[in-house]
Structure formats: C-alpha cells, structure tokens
Chains A and B, each alone.
Chain A
Amino acid sequence: MTSDQGNGRVRSGRHVITAANLTVGYELHRERQRLTALRDVSLTVDRGEFVVLVGPSGCGKTTFINAISGLVSPWEGTIEVNGRPVTGPGPDRAMVFQDYALMPWRTVEQNIRLPFELQDLDISEEERDERIRRYIDLVDLGGFENSFPYELSGGMKQRVGIARALVSEPDILLADEPFAAVDAMTREAMQGELERFVSATGQTVVFITHSIDEAITLGDRVVVISYRPGQIKEIVDVDLPRPRFDYDVKTLPAYTELRERVWGLVKDEAFQTARGATP
C-alpha cells in the first residue's frame, strides 16, 4: 500500500499494525463453548492510512478492533502495533465507541480529560489543559465544556467521544461504528469532520461500518470481511482524491463502480446473515 497517487494522504510505508494469521474469539463460560470470531486473518496497515472494515453483523469486525486495542488477546497468530506485540491497551491507541461510552457523571471537559488521568503520560499540566482546549475547539464544542453528556445531542456526544480519543494524540484511532447512532444528516457532516481531523493529525484509522457509502467516502482501503468465522474476503483500494468532502464524491463514476464492487462482495454475506445461516 505504499504507492499513493492523487490520494493526498501522507503514508510512510511503515506498517503500524500487523496482524498475522490472527485467530481470536470469545469463551462462553456458561455453555463451556468457545466461539471463533476471526479465523486466520492477516492484514497490515500503514502509517496514516484510513482502513475501513465492512461485513455483516457478527462477522468479527469488532473483535478485530478489540484485538488491536488490547481488550482481547489472540488465540493463535500475532498482532503487533509499532513492531511490538499487543499485550493490553496502551496510549498509542484510542477508540471511539458506537454508544459514545461517555461517563455520564463527567462534564464534556472532564470526559475529554479522562485519558490523561488514566494514562501515565509525560505531559505537563499546562500542556494537558492546552490540548484539551485545542481538541474541544477542533470538534467545535467551545462553550459546552461544562455541559453533561445528557444535555447534548447524539452528534455532539460523539464529537466528545472523538475529542477524548484524539486528546492523547495516539498513533492509531479505532472507531467502532461511531456514527451508527446519529441521524443521517449529522452523520454526513461528521464524516467530513472526521476526515478533516485525521488529515490534520496524520493518524492511522481503523474504522468499522455497516454502510458501504461511509466505507468508500472515508477509506483508503475497504476490507470486506465474511460471515462467521470472520475472514478477509477481499481488500478494495479506494483511489478517490481527498479531501473528499470538499466536493460531491458520490457523483464520480469511479465512486459508483467502487460501490457496486463492494456491494457485490458484501451482498452474499448479508443475505446469508439475514437468513441466519451458518457457513
């Protein structure tokens, strides 16, 4: 993925995330069973790349992101971040959650401060305050510092979630369907904002979505994952010029072609899931 023409994003070619023959799943203690969510997945992600995972519900996308974040450990194979095996969560990775996962007893400002309280970062108090202010401005929440999450709309809550993930300036931003719970108009606006944030910070992004349009408008690569156990079905390169939200990318013929191609890959999986069939 080092060749990069007309894409506008900086890529060093260095692998930030390397998954090799990764197999991972969940123990279902009560039933004395275990469920394989991902089987034998190998994927490398370059610095500054925006990778989108698409696939039917239950295909293991979230498990893959959890393996990168360190919330679950591999059963087989390896997962490395910056050349080191993942043993647990770390300040080089941050996550944006579908249900925002904001602490309801904390104000906007206190929620964004959370990573600083939990991580042992070598940053002065002034620098922390300055960064919190900067990221509140970046996500356009100036004036809402002392509001509580329940006082905010869904879109605003997710912008708090994004600021919280960006404030410690991690190398990798993980996003698990971050816009699934916000309304359609807000969603489009926020996709554009996310593109702006990460092109400003140069972060590597691994992003999960159910929406093919969201995948193509945001991603440098779209990774299609098949249904249970999840395996990589195909990787689609998206060579549409950036920033894509400055023009209507959806009117390009290349966009339509990409859309058809991804839909063709996802379609069978989606129907299989809808029928409840197990492969």
Chain B
Amino acid sequence: MSRPEDTLPPDLFYNDTESRKYTTSSRIQRIQSDMTHRALSLLSLASPSLILDIGCGSGLSGEILSQTPQYGTPGGPHVWIGLDISASMLGVALEKDVDGDLFLADAGQGVPFRPGTFDAAISISAIQWLCNAETSEDSPAGRLSRFFGGLYASLRRGGRAVCQFYPKNETQKKMVAQAAIKAGFGAGLLEDDEGTKNAKTYLVLTVGGGDLDGDITGVVRGMDSVHVMARPGAKAAKRGGDIVKGSRGWILKKKEQMERKGKVVKPSSKYTGRKRRVQF
C-alpha cells in the first residue's frame, strides 16, 4: 500500500474529503482509539492533567482524553491542547465541538509554549510526517530536532510523551528515536504486533527529574519487545573516553585508518605528532 506521506504534504493531503473520510471510517476510529488507550496506559497519569496532542487531527484521540475514568480514561478527564497542520481536519474537529483547544500549527516549526507547561504529550499517527520536508530550505532532521527540542522544553520535569508513528523503514525509525535522544529525552521504542502488517511503533519519551520512577526503563519495565536505546548519562560517559583531536593518539588512529583503506601513509616515528620547534 502506498504511504500518504510520500504523495503530498499533510496540509494538502488531508483536504476536506480526505479529512471526512478519515474521521468517519469506523475502522480508523477503532484503531485510533485502541492506540490512544495504549498510549494513555503508557503515560500512566493518576490525576487530571494538561496534555498536548500533536497532530490532533479531528480530535479522535482528544475525545478519549476528555473522558472520565468510568469510560476508560485513567486519571481523566484531562484538559488537552491539540496542534495540527491541516485546516480541514481542524474544521471537522470544530464541527464535532471537541473540548480541547485547537491550534493550526506545524509541529516541525517547534512547539510554541513556555517551558514546563504540560504534564504529558501524546501523538497518534503523526510524527512520520515530520520526516518529509517540503521546501529546499528545510530538512527532515531540522524539523525533527525543532519538534523534539520544543516538546522537551514544554514538558514539565518528570513529564512523559508517547508518540505512536508509522516509520517507513528501520532508518526512519532510528532517525526519529535519535532526534528525540538528542533533544534530551530518555527514549524507548515499543512495538506491538512486531513483524506483522499491523505493527504499531510507540516512541516512549521521558523528561528527567521530578517524581518519575527513574528513567524510561521504569515505564517499560516488565514489557516484552522493548528496546531501550539510550540512558541519560550514558552518552556523556562515552564522550569522555574519546581521543582529543590533533593529539598523537588521534594522528596514529587516522594513519591506521588510511592504511587500512590502502592509502600510502608515512611511517610513524617518535617525532609523529610532535610540535615543531619555534623558529627564530
């Protein structure tokens, strides 16, 4: 099946007809609601919170966030704020009279909220759209880094985010996860129904500090098919062991690399990497 991400940018793809089709299809509704419930269980919110919904679309997931615990929303009813780039989708949401606040915004341009605003963030089938850039002055990496940077800042310490997305391939999955880690999140990828056509990928993100149970590994403890990709602090430790650029060790390493490539390399001696005497 072709991916809508490869055909058109999201604001053009989700036009009036496509938005209506998306919102009224009972199959999509069921899948979206399953995924929202799954994401909510990963967020494990105990009390009514302020939640950011990235790519809220017509508010399919938002409707679930506004529900009370009796209707299966833990800790609800939550107050949510939704961002979406498609005006048609938001139009459908307005018609449905959803409870959350809606914003016409591109998540790839950042998240325009002050630091520490949200308790949690949720995103259902949206962030794969960030892997496409529509103009030459923009790049997928730039869009992802602005998005995750903005998201990291706008979450409170100890906050969590769960992003369900449809990666095109392994590379894209890795690119998204790496962008999140670079922004400072503790990140983990969780896959439901791995290896099948119904595979669902969840990126579970945590912001350090606060009352969280350790890092991301606390969220996914005891779950199957979870790969923890980075732990806060692990990166810093690795960087400390690197060889300083320009030092003798670095030069020797580079020479070895070049030699392995089959280049002609001058033999090393005790003078290799030494400073020249200051000439009078």
To the question of whether A and B form a pair in one complex, the answer is no
Interface residues of B (CB under 8 A from A): none
Interface residues of A (CB under 8 A from B): none
